[in-house]
A and B are shown apart, each in its own frame.
Chain A
Amino acid sequence: MGDDKGILLGAVAYDPKVVTIWEGIREHFLEQGTSLDFALFSNYGRQVEELLKGHIDIAWNTPLAHVHVRQRTRGESISLGMRDSDRDFHAKVIVRRDSGIKSLRDLKGKTLAVGSSDSTQARILPLYFLAKEGLDLDGIEILSFETDPGKHGDTGTSEIDVLRALQEGRAQAGTVGDLIWVNEQAAGHVDANKVEVLWTTPGFDHCMFDAHPSLPREKVEMFRRSLFAMRWDNPRHRRLLEMEGLREWMPPRETGYRSLEEALKEQEQE
């Protein structure tokens, strides 16, 4: 546990900007009267272990890490908050226009590009939802991009790899998160003559601040108060919020992780 004076938060350094983000948030928390420090990890597995051991108070977790923490603490961990962009996440199945794929059934016998094996939005959940739609995944050629293992798809690199494989014709279909798909389109990076969206998965939630079950009540409150005081129209906050990919921090909710829990259970049974 961090010293009595302040909160120690863990985050995964998936990009150099992570340092800038947490230095900025730390400064904002201090202005709010909340003493906060942070420790950076190279992967979520280690971060979760250190949270469970009480070496850090709070972990900024991916959905996969969040579900692990919930399971390992038997639901006693304290969920503190999430980004607006973490709510109602979806995954997309993107296809090449020349592939002849008009429905999910047409994916049979085709090559489906997917992201890293620990990416919730680019692999775990889209494959889970496709199976739920009745698709036999064994009949599909899976082209996997194992980039940045341990980062749980944070870097978005494997999703960009999926889109590139589609543009280049190395796959007829691919799975990516909705944000990267619409943001790449909005930025003009997608050739709409070559690829299009076929299907959208049901919604699910993404990252979460998980606190150790023993974090004192007043620290929980201080953390939430300082976090929710960040504003999009404040120039200093906005810079941090943009880098972290949100406009507004939201209260936590657990309903958005059911599908991931289910998917992980099924993976274990296989």
Chain B
Amino acid sequence: MSAQLAAIAVDGGDLPLGGGLLALVRPALNALETGGVLAVLSRSRCVREDLPSWCRADRHEYLGVEAISQGLDRHLIARGEFSVPPQPTNNEGRLTPRDGRLTASDMLEAAPLPTSADPFTGFAPRGSRVEPGGPGYPFTLNERNHLAPPEIGKLYDQAVSTQWDATRDIPWAKVKSLSDALENALVQIMTFLAENELSALYVPSRFMARIHPAFVEVTMFLATQLADEARHIDVFLKRARMSGRGLGISSVTTSRSLLSLLQTDDFTEAEFLLSVLGEGTFLDLLTFIERHAPDEPTAELTRRAKGDESRHVHFGLAHVRYGLANDPTLYRRLENAVRKRAATLHGVSGVPAPLQDALTILAAGGAHPGDVARGHERFRELLETMHLSRTRRLEHAGFTTEQAETISQLHTPNFM
């Protein structure tokens, strides 16, 4: 065998096969195409015995050995067909920091998302050389167009940099003692918020294990969303329990509304119902609570929660808008999802009564009848604001004014 055929060579020195030689031989073979030839230089007599056997065991072709000088052998091996195939397309760029920082967007630029992903690549990170013959994974969200909007990297970076601490970042020591009516209203509102945020914690988690890891940035973003929801549940319940009078009422309307959300099996439909419509509506609710908050800690925790929620709404909108741009049938599917959900709440027309009353008292600042009239008016304005924001958001996502109007009207009276 002539040495010209050798594509690459490794110098094995006097390493025996079982004493480290394979750590040089295996990676060198992995760099070759099937049939590519590797020259192994060796001063070990044992390698003459062992290398042909190893090639037989690993199905490479041992082409022979020649002594090229005193005590120095050159073995030639042709890479076998049962090895890890080379990268089919290497379109990866080198990742370089900008101003000393590396963002998820930089990563996406260096290793772009594929249009679709193969469930047989399992948890192999995007861009790995995947050995064929591995098991298929139960990933069902394998298409970029139905999953990952272009701004996903930016949203993830933003989410990571704006995390806050529910233990230290709220001025808990400044919580005020309130009138009975106001205290009860606040407890009820916090109970309602926590219950709804629990659903927002559980709903995305149902889909995370279905997302193909090639689109891991989406899963990573949802992980930040779960951390956000966990923190919101934490602060809402802390604030409620600082009143020392237990928690408020969980109504059947809320329970039924959230169950229908949890039972949505399609990721895009769930994102639409949860983030675009539900969390979108919550932005107005949180603004309302912040504006009428009876003390600084309540205003602060509501403000911070709203900041996180607006990011979730942003992702939901981007996801839906991206899906709609790539699949016009999605309009009808989303409208149907809203109709189907509305049917489970048929006969319920109003906001759960305990919440409505609590919001009224909060806006009134207490139970004086004159103030309550004003609180009630504010509550009615809130409903109108929510409807207007929803239709604006839906139009922004790509729906017509008419569709937006219909969908907004059908949205759950539970807000989420």
State how many angstroms separate the Cβ of A156 from the closest Cβ of chain B.
13
B136 & A192 in contact (Cβ 8 Å cutoff): no
A182 & B133 in contact (Cβ 8 Å cutoff): no
A186 & B18 in contact (Cβ 8 Å cutoff): yes
B-side residues, CB < 8 A to A, are: 16-20, 22, 46, 49-50, 52-54, 56-59, 82, 120, 132-136
A232 & B82 in contact (Cβ 8 Å cutoff): yes
Query: Which residues from chain A contact B134 at a C-beta distance below 8 Å?
Result: 235
B46 & A197 in contact (Cβ 8 Å cutoff): yes
Known: A199-B49, A200-B49. A182 touches B132 (CB 8 A): no
Query: Which residues from chain B contact A181 at a C-beta distance below 8 Å?
Result: 50, 53
For residue A183, CB closer than 8 A to chain B, the reply is: yes
B133 & A233 in contact (Cβ 8 Å cutoff): yes
Query: Which residues from chain B contact A192 at a C-beta distance below 8 Å?
Result: 16-20
B18 & A184 in contact (Cβ 8 Å cutoff): yes
A238 & B49 in contact (Cβ 8 Å cutoff): no
State how many angstroms separate the Cβ of B175 from the closest Cβ of chain A.
58
State how many angstroms separate the Cβ of A244 from the closest Cβ of chain B.
14
The interface size bin for chain A is 20 to 34
Docked complex Cα distance between A201 and B18 (Å): 19
A241 closest partner in B (C-beta): B133
B55 closest partner in A (C-beta): A182
Number of contacts between A and B (CB, 8 Å)? Answer: 69
Known: A199-B49, A232-B133. A247 touches B82 (CB 8 A): yes
State how many angstroms separate the Cβ of B60 from the closest Cβ of chain A.
11
Picked from B22, B53, B54, B120, the residue with its CB within 8 Å of the CB of A235 is: B120
Docked complex Cα distance between A238 and B31 (Å): 23
Docked complex Cα distance between A198 and B16 (Å): 12
Query: Which residues from chain B contact A178 at a C-beta distance below 8 Å?
Result: 53, 56-57
Seed contacts A178-B57, A188-B18, A196-B16; 18 additional CB < 8 Å A-B pairs:
A84-B59, A90-B53, A92-B49, A92-B53, A178-B53, A179-B53, A179-B56, A185-B16, A185-B18, A185-B22, A186-B17, A186-B22, A186-B57, A197-B46, A197-B50, A234-B133, A238-B133, A248-B59
A245 closest partner in B (C-beta): B57
Query: Which residues from chain A contact B52 at a C-beta distance below 8 Å?
Result: 200
For residue A133, CB closer than 8 A to chain B, the reply is: no
Query: Which residues from chain B contact A90 at a C-beta distance below 8 Å?
Result: 53
For residue A168, CB closer than 8 A to chain B, the reply is: no
Query: Which residues from chain A contact B17 at a C-beta distance below 8 Å?
Result: 182, 185-186, 192
For residue A35, CB closer than 8 A to chain B, the reply is: no
Docked complex Cα distance between A248 and B56 (Å): 12
For residue A141, CB closer than 8 A to chain B, the reply is: no
Known: A84-B59, A235-B134. A182 touches B50 (CB 8 A): yes
State how many angstroms separate the Cβ of A27 from the closest Cβ of chain B.
16
Query: Which residues from chain B contact A233 at a C-beta distance below 8 Å?
Result: 132-133
Docked complex Cα distance between A182 and B57 (Å): 8
A190, A193, A198, A233: most-surrounded residue (chain B CB, <10 A): A233
